[in-house]
Chain A
Amino acid sequence: MIKELYQFRNLINELVKRDIKKKYRRSVLGYLWSMLNPLLMMLITAMVFSHLFRFDIPNYPLYLLTGQIIFTFYSEATNFAMGSILENGGLIKKVYVPKYLFPLSRVISSGVNVCFTLPAMVTIMLFTGAEFHFKLLFCVIPLLLLMLFSLGIGLLLAAFAVYFRDIFHLYGVLLTVLNYATPIFYPTKIIPLEYQGIVLYNPLTYFLQAFRDIVYGNVFPSGEQLFVCTCLAFGSLLVGGYAFSKKQNNFVLYV
């Protein structure tokens, strides 16, 4: 498996490049959009929420942006990974390529995209006078773990999406649910106690908290938090990888 990954590293590289190139082809600002998009989204949401609802959160823009970065990363990576097998159906039918490379390269593309948004985050930190600390560098750890988590979910979705196209529609709804069930724009403490479970059983919450603790809270995430994230990441990889490997031989017949 590792050997195979190494052998096909060039293909992964090319697939990732293709995704990124195609995303910004013929747009004047190109890669800048990766930075601008979250910034603009954040500005709008921040405007709405700081005037309509007053959450008692210091440096709300940064709080919001960290949430959005994590959620966009997850939703983009899984969404694209889900369709990756079907999109490359033409290829899968004609040449032998290990099929997991497609979801994998999609998730990596989203990872690269997140790297482009990090300057936006730094800009906001500068702008709002947030504290800079070397700890900030550790924010890649939750991001990497989230990437593995997304890959697992992406593999699972991709495998089933080949057989049931309903998954596409269903997952869109599920993502909206997740968007509200993750403390992206609200503080956890405003949720009534009896509903806290919704946030606590949502895996994304843990990745977000770990990321936010570092960037926004300027502290190391607790060992417990990282442990939970690691378990979630590898658990999802295991389940997704297993489902994918079980189903992959028949993809050719259904794409």
Chain B
Amino acid sequence: MERKENIIEVKNVSMKFNLMEEKVDTIKDYVLKIIKGQMLYNEFSALTDVSFQVKKGDILGIIGFNGAGKSTMLKILAGVLKPTAGEVVVRGSVAPLIEVGAGFDPELTARENIFLNGAILGYRREFLKEHFQEIIDFAELNQFVDVPVKNFSSGMYARLGFSIATIVQPDILIVDEVLSVGDYRFQEKCEERIKTMILRGTTVLLVSHDLSLVKNICNRVVFLQQGKLKDYGDTDIICKHYEEECNVVR
């Protein structure tokens, strides 16, 4: 085990949010609140002192109840959020599948969005041109290449997004319940593609409530509870703990 290098290291990460109700939108509010001494920050700790490592080639499942901090953790790993405290080291390229198609511009056509979204994910234009047909084929959108994306159904949206995001072989793939979109057949296709990536050595981080999926593909599991690392280890043991915990709650 130890000879594999750590591709991700999470060291004592904490994340605090100021809750939205205390959000100040205008200067007037701001000044008033300062004068009244009301700048109480209603702080909410989404994550508290979480540490774990992921080795190259690991398939890591992140499980936990709602509000446990799973998505926050993924966003920190994807570099979208900066942790309030602690440090995250990520060695390699990351392909985030957090709400695929987030970077689409509804006014632009599928073709234009492939280039825009691809650029956001850091691909070169020539590369995208080369793989253009492949992306369209996988998303099964041949007929709709020049239709503005605003006219797409949510399934088409997700298919296109997934297709663009997975066109390369990233070192790390972050999956946040995207597999729940699209019809059954397309879900299978996605799983197929993710499995091929795994075979080729991609490290996968997966957030899911679907325990059987986690048991199926993950070899390591992080169990978060109320922002704290409850358990970390091999899938069987952690899943058992999780199930026991579920029963307690019930």
A residues within 8 A CB of B79?
96
Are B102 and A95 in contact, with the CB atoms below 8 A?
yes
Q: How far is the CA of A191 from the CA of B101 in the complex (A)?
A: 55
Would you list which residues of chain B between 88 and 145 have a CB under 8 Å from chain A? 94, 96, 98-99, 102-103, 105, 107-108, 112, 115-116, 119-125
Nearest chain B CB to A243 CB, angstrom units: 16
Are B26 and A166 in contact, with the CB atoms below 8 A?
yes
Interface check A246, CB cutoff 8 A: no
Segment at the A interface, from B17-25, B203-211, B216-224, B225-233: B17-25
Q: How far is the CA of A21 from the CA of B148 in the complex (A)?
A: 13
Interface check B11, CB cutoff 8 A: no
Are A249 and B25 in contact, with the CB atoms below 8 A?
no
Nearest chain B CB to A166 CB, angstrom units: 5
Are B25 and A11 in contact, with the CB atoms below 8 A?
no
B residues within 8 A CB of A254?
23
Are B27 and A95 in contact, with the CB atoms below 8 A?
no
Interface check A10, CB cutoff 8 A: yes
Of chain B, the residue at the smallest CB distance from A96 is B79
Q: How far is the CA of A254 from the CA of B78 in the complex (A)?
A: 18
A residues within 8 A CB of B30?
164
Nearest chain B CB to A95 CB, angstrom units: 6
Are B98 and A94 in contact, with the CB atoms below 8 A?
yes
Are A93 and B122 in contact, with the CB atoms below 8 A?
no
Interface residues on A, range: 20 to 34
B interface residues, how many (CB within 8 angstroms): 34
Are A90 and B102 in contact, with the CB atoms below 8 A?
yes
Q: How far is the CA of A93 from the CA of B24 in the complex (A)?
A: 19
B residues within 8 A CB of A166?
26-28
Q: How far is the CA of A92 from the CA of B75 in the complex (A)?
A: 11
Interface check A25, CB cutoff 8 A: yes
Contact code string B68-83 (vs A, CB < 8 Å = 1, else 0): 0000000100111110
Are A97 and B120 in contact, with the CB atoms below 8 A?
yes
Q: How far is the CA of A208 from the CA of B107 in the complex (A)?
A: 35
Contact code string B47-87 (vs A, CB < 8 Å = 1, else 0): 00000000000000000000000000001001111100000
Contact code string A1-38 (vs B, CB < 8 Å = 1, else 0): 00000011011011100100110010000000000000
Among candidates A21, A92, A165, A249, residue contacting B108 with C-beta atoms closer than 8 Å: A21
Are A253 and B18 in contact, with the CB atoms below 8 A?
yes
Would you list which residues of chain A between 61 and 113 have a CB under 8 Å from chain B? 90-97
Q: How far is the CA of A47 from the CA of B18 in the complex (A)?
A: 56
Nearest chain A CB to B11 CB, angstrom units: 18
B residues within 8 A CB of A22?
105, 107-108
Nearest chain B CB to A175 CB, angstrom units: 18
Nearest chain B CB to A156 CB, angstrom units: 15
Q: How far is the CA of A166 from the CA of B31 in the complex (A)?
A: 13
Q: A95-B120, A249-B82 are in contact. Are A164 and B107 (CB under 8 A)?
A: no
Are B98 and A14 in contact, with the CB atoms below 8 A?
no
Of chain B, the residue at the smallest CB distance from A248 is B82
Are B96 and A94 in contact, with the CB atoms below 8 A?
yes
Are A25 and B80 in contact, with the CB atoms below 8 A?
no
Return 11 A-B CB contacts under 8 Å, by A number.
A14-B115, A15-B119, A18-B112, A21-B112, A22-B107, A25-B107, A94-B96, A95-B78, A96-B96, A164-B30, A166-B28
Task: Give the 4 A-B CB pairs with smallest separation, nearest first.
Answer: A96-B79, A94-B102, A11-B119, A14-B119
